[in-house]
């Protein structure tokens, strides 16, 4: 389950973009890590719509936090245990 701003686990609607004030459906997962706070293998996630993908990626990238950007569908399928 993604733990991101704007995404409520109990909500039946699709996940939304993490950009402030944006209510668009998310299509990208930005995996990041703050090396001063997190172990190297830990990944925090933000979600992004098409419009905010570059902005959020740059925000994390200039800080050296961005580790990966993948389509939401790919991220969700990777979270599912085999056989589901």
CB 59 within 8 A of CB 20: no
pLDDT at 3: 46
Domain map (residue ranges) of the chain: 28-79
Specify the pLDDT at position 39.
92
Write out residues in the chain with pLDDT < 70, as ranges.
Answer: 1-12, 80-84
CA distance 71 to 11: 20
């Amino acid at each position: 389950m993604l733990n991101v701003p704007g995404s409520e686990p109990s909500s039946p609607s699709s996940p939304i973009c993490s950009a402030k004030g944006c209510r668009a459906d998310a299509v990208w997962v930005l995996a990041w890590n703050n090396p001063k706070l997190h172990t190297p293998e830990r990944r925090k996630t933000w979600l992004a719509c098409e419009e905010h993908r570059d902005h959020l990626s740059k925000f994390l990238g200039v800080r050296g936090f961005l580790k990966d950007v993948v389509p939401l569908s790919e991220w969700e399928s990777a979270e599912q245990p085999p056989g589901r």
